[in-house]
Structure 1
Amino acid sequence: MQATSNSIEKKYIRRQRIGRIALVGLNIIAWLFTMFPLIYAFLMAIKPAGELYDPSSILFPQNPTLTNFVDVFDIAPIGRYITNSLIVAVSITLLQITTSVLAAFAFRFLKFKGKGIVYGLILSTMMIPGEAVIISQFLMVSSWGITDSLIVLIIPFVVSAFNIFLCVQALENFPYEVYESAKIDGCSDVRFAFTMVLPLIKPTIGAMAVQSFLSGWNMYMWPLLVTNNDANRTVQIGISMLNSVDSQSMVLMVAGVVICMIPSLAIFIVGQRNMVKGLTSGAVKG
């Protein structure tokens, strides 16, 4: 009887071990499948231009070099492009967080007529694709005379309906009595929003920060439409202008792409935990 029990236990342990090994193997395969474009881009970026069409070095370069990362800064103002993208992305992130917190505070704690209608109208804007209004936006900023500047890259993205929705959902279970007590103690609405509400929805703020920064960093159509000189171009536009038919510009463009991916990857890696918490915050009531 004891021998049979030990045999069953060993089979169970062996089956569990095989299951873990199979799961790890599937995860590795999925990781390689997902990361292959990034890995291939890096391998291509360290490849000399002469090996680009060499059949013997289709994947791995025979003479890897880092000079492409240096040369790309020499032929184009990549540093300026990266600085512009950082200014735009950080500004959009801070402004969207500020407007979203204030809007969510108003929809959660303030009482005014038509609150539900206004909130519904704001959410309905998420159904309108950006391409549908990009021409009207361009005509509007052109009439203001602010095209070809960094500020025109920021103004259309000061408010985000999706971020307002996230903040409102995060405040669904926030006790209204706390707000009433703060008002009795003489706390202003703005102070309550930034000293009490903001610290309590940090995971949501983290998710908003990651999403807003990546959206601002990866913008392409709008900067392409409203910027005309290198002083105000973002990194996405600058990198695309490196493209040409010769192999030298090809590897330099890929090297530039790898460089411009570093900030977005770093932000996502640092903020991915808060992003998951923030997106699920308010999803379960009770």
Structure 2
Amino acid sequence: MRESTFRVRELFGRLAVYALLGAAVVTVAFPVYYAFAGAVMGPSELSSYPPALLPHSVTGRNFTGAVQAIPLGRQYLNSAVTATAITLAQLLTSILAAYAFVFLPLRWRAAVFAVFLATLMVPWEAVIIPNYLTLSGWGLGNTYFGLILPFLASGFGTFMLRQSFRQFPAELRDAARIDGAGHWRFLWRILVPLNKPSLAAIAIYVFLSAWNQYFWPLIITRTAQMQTLQIGLASLRDAERADPGLILAGVVLSLLPTLALVVFGQRFIVRGLTAGAVR
């Protein structure tokens, strides 16, 4: 009797957990689904009541309309160039800084690393005005350099790679030194290839953050030709172009790179973020 009661409770517990997980999946996935479905719906379906959840007729006019309403191709290119450059720059600076913190005999290493970590506690809004005044004074407003320069280094990437590098066995480092490998060869031929999961996780995180930037591109750019995709999507909400089909089509185009990175890179994200958690 007790065993059957326990099994019933266990069954109801599992059903409750599955119900909560299902509700969470629907809550997260439904906006993404409706963005894709609404992007191929006509105006009558988008304005119908109750709202249509499935497109009765598929149309591509929303995508062509979005491309014609704003310079979407150029803004897509701007976002791609900016996000890629920021990602590569932060990977390079994080690799070099983390290597110095782990393998080089630095004085006051702990204090300097604490300063790196302290930068993570400074909100971006606190430095955005000095950055804007500096880059505008240098004549870098409305340029790729203005979009990229404030994000060339990151304390987050340095912290993650430092934790990962600390897991590298000291015996292998000594063996590489005995074989004549200097710092540069050891870093790029041995250490970096063995830490690909951490590098991939950082690259995905940085790329997504740079791709979704809104406030900094909004204030540093002045023309539509230099604005990024997120600014272009916001302009689709103008009163004269307030077409939900165009907005959803633009959102879908903006989601494609991020979804691809998350889907194909999720295993690197998990492995990279857990690297260095246990020593």
Q: Is TM more than 0.5 here?
A: yes
Q: CA deviation at 1:236?
A: 0.6
Q: CA deviation at 1:246?
A: 5.5
- Tell me the equivalent position of 1:202: 196
Q: CA deviation at 1:160?
A: 1.0
Q: Which runs of 5+ in 1 are unaligned?
A: 1-6
- Tell me the equivalent position of 2:135: 141
Given the alignment, which residue of 157, 165, 169 partners 1:171? 165
Given the alignment, which residue of 112, 115, 125 partners 2:109? 115
Q: CA deviation at 1:113?
A: 1.2
For residues 11 and 252 of structure 2, what CA distance do their matches in structure 1 show? Answer: 39
The one-letter code sitting in structure 2 at the alignment partner of 1:76 is: I
The one-letter code sitting in structure 2 at the alignment partner of 1:44 is: G
Taking only the aligned residue pairs, the percentage that are identical comes to 39
- Tell me the equivalent position of 2:64: 70
For residues 72 and 118 of structure 1, what CA distance do their matches in structure 2 show? Answer: 48
- Tell me the equivalent position of 1:265: 259
C-alpha RMSD over aligned residues: 2.4
Q: CA deviation at 1:212?
A: 0.8
For residues 112 and 28 of structure 1, what CA distance do their matches in structure 2 show? Answer: 51
Given the alignment, which residue of 86, 92, 109 partners 1:92? 86
Please say if 1:283 is aligned against 2:260: no
Give TM-score, length-normalised by structure 2.
Answer: 0.89
Is the partner of 2:127 in helix, strand or coil?
A: helix
Any residues of structure 2 matched to 1:153-172 within 5 Å, and which?
Answer: 153-172=147-166
- Tell me the equivalent position of 1:127: 121
For residues 52 and 260 of structure 1, what CA distance do their matches in structure 2 show? Answer: 20
Q: CA deviation at 1:192?
A: 1.4
Is the partner of 1:57 in helix, strand or coil?
A: coil
- State how many pairs are aligned: 279
Answer yes or no: is the 8 Å Cα contact 1:210–1:271 preserved in 2: yes
Is the partner of 1:55 in helix, strand or coil?
A: coil
Please say if 1:236 is aligned against 2:222: no
Give TM-score, length-normalised by structure 1.
Answer: 0.87
Answer yes or no: is the 8 Å Cα contact 2:163–2:276 preserved in 1: yes
Larger mean Cα displacement after TM superposition, 246-255 or 257-266: 246-255
Q: CA deviation at 1:247?
A: 7.0
- Tell me the equivalent position of 1:4: none
- Tell me the equivalent position of 2:145: 151
For residues 70 and 25 of structure 1, what CA distance do their matches in structure 2 show? Answer: 40
The one-letter code sitting in structure 2 at the alignment partner of 1:278 is: G
For residues 276 and 204 of structure 1, what CA distance do their matches in structure 2 show? Answer: 9
Structure ID, larger Rg: 1
